[in-house]
């Protein structure tokens, strides 16, 4: 199958999932064509079945802002025709599914099917700006297939947009062979030279991730036990987090690593993962940590309860309740095994539902279902 994949190439969940999906599909024999304005940040696979097609963003004096959605639509059509794509799979409704709709319209009378995967903020954004509702609803309804990464997101989409069409839930996934417990004593010693427990957080450091809450939770933990905090990622709230670290006099105990590609190598060194987000439609970073046998303390919001079972493989707390999160963190780290048994349970549960070997076939089956339906309609 020849598949065109479009996603945001930046450091965020939707881009990560789309990139990992493309690499997994290529490993299974499919031909993958990434179409975006830059190579996806996690596109590290050198598989010869993967190609990248750059969307050149035009800079005309007439426009205050470059018309990326239109340029993307043209590139989608060009790639579809030159590479004889079977379908487009776009991640994030705005503007990608709109561009795919335009590409499909331009391809007529040949039908170029496209599937839209909803990741979260493309839906919750409407709660902040209702002007996006008509175009988002239109792009979802015009898609030949629609998937959502959690049951929570599917339900919210149906309610928010009054959608009547079916939406398939295909969850986020993790490569369970890469994401596993492989401790690196040298790496651990670099962060925790005296064997202190390591707390970790991974995100794009946007306000919704509550990175300053991560620091505050760690500060409360640090009052009770010696520990270290490792922060992976970058984004607009990094400066605020760095300021808070200095204010709390924690500079010697907190490590800012910036953006990292092979995050599984780092996650495998953690004793506890913190995810105190205001909202997560799934919680991919939590799943990646769990696959590395790391228990998670996270906000009880959105799709996170579908991933973490409270008290079994981690703990859930109300959003912004820093004291509760710190109490759970201390409960885990104060155990004789530092939460290793809970971490092992976390990996077992992650493997049951979210390994790539089980989820990728769901996408393949859905592709075939959509293509069969399109063929039947346009026969």
Query: Where do the domains of the chain lie?
Result: 2-173+356-377, 185-354
Residue with tokens 């409407």: 126
The number of CA neighbours under 13 Å toward the Cβ of 261 is: 8
Question: What is the pLDDT, as a whole number, of residue 62?
Answer: 52
CB 11 within 8 A of CB 38: no
Residue with tokens 């004889």: 84
Q: Do domains 2-173+356-377 and 185-354 have the same CATH topology?
A: yes
Question: What's the topology of domain 2-173+356-377?
Answer: Rossmann fold (3.40.50)
Question: What is the pLDDT, as a whole number, of residue 131?
Answer: 78
Q: Which residues touch 335 (CB under 8 Å, ≥6 apart)?
A: 341
Phi and psi at residue 229, to the nearest 5°? -120, 130
Q: Which CATH number, 2.170.120.30, 3.40.50.2000, 3.40.50.300, 3.90.79.10, labels domain 185-354?
A: 3.40.50.2000
Residue 355 carries which DSSP code? B
**CA dist 58 to 55, 67, 68, 336, 350, Å?**
9, 7, 8, 59, 43
The structure tokens listed for 265 are: 């190598």
3-class SS of residue 236 = coil
CB 333 within 8 A of CB 228: no
Find the distance separating the first CA and the last CA of the chain, reported in whole Å: 20
Average confidence (pLDDT) per 10 residues, the chain, 379 residues = 90 81 94 90 80 81 67 95 96 90 94 93 67 86 96 92 92 95 95 97 95 98 97 96 97 95 94 96 96 98 96 97 98 94 97 95 97 85
Question: What is the pLDDT, as a whole number, of residue 43?
Answer: 80
């Amino acid at each position: 199958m020849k598949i065109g994949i479009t996603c945001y190439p930046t450091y965020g969940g939707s881009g990560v999932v789309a990139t990992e999906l493309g690499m997994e599909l290529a490993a299974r024999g499919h031909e993958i064509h990434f179409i975006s304005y830059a190579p996806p940040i996690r596109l590290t696979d050198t598989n010869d079945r993967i190609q990248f097609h750059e969307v050149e963003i035009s800079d005309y004096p007439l426009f205050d802002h470059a018309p990326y959605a239109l340029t993307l639509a043209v590139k989608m059509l060009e790639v579809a025709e030159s590479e004889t794509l079977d379908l487009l799979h776009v991640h994030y409704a705005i503007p990608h599914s709109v561009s795919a709709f335009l590409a499909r319209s331009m391809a007529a009378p040949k039908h170029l099917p496209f599937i839209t995967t909803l990741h979260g903020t493309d839906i919750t954004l409407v709660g902040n700006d209702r002007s996006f509702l008509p175009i988002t609803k239109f792009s979802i309804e015009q898609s030949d297939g629609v998937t959502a990464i959690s049951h929570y997101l599917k339900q919210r989409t149906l309610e928010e947009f009054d959608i009547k069409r079916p939406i398939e839930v295909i969850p986020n996934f993790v490569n369970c062979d890469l994401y596993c417990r492989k401790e690196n004593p040298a790496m651990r010693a670099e962060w925790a030279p005296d064997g202190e427990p390591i707390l970790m957080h991974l995100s794009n450091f946007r306000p919704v991730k509550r990175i300053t809450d991560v620091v505050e939770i760690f500060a409360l933990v640090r009052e009770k036990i010696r520990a270290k905090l490792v922060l992976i990622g970058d984004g607009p709230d990094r400066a605020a987090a760095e300021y808070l670290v200095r204010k709390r006099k924690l500079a010697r105990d907190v490590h800012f690593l910036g953006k990292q590609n092979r995050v599984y190598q780092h996650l495998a060194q953690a004793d506890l993962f913190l995810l105190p987000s205001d909202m997560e439609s799934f919680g991919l970073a939590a799943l990646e940590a769990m696959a590395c046998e790391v228990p998670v303390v996270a906000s009880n919001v959105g799709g996170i309860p579908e991933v973490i079972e409270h008290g079994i493989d981690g703990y859930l707390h109300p959003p912004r309740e820093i004291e509760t999160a710190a109490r759970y963190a201390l409960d885990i780290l104060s155990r004789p095994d530092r939460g290793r048994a809970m971490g092992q349970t976390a990996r077992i549960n992650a493997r049951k539902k979210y390994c790539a070997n089980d989820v990728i076939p769901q996408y393949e089956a859905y592709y075939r279902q959509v293509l069969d339906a399109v063929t039947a309609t346009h026969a």
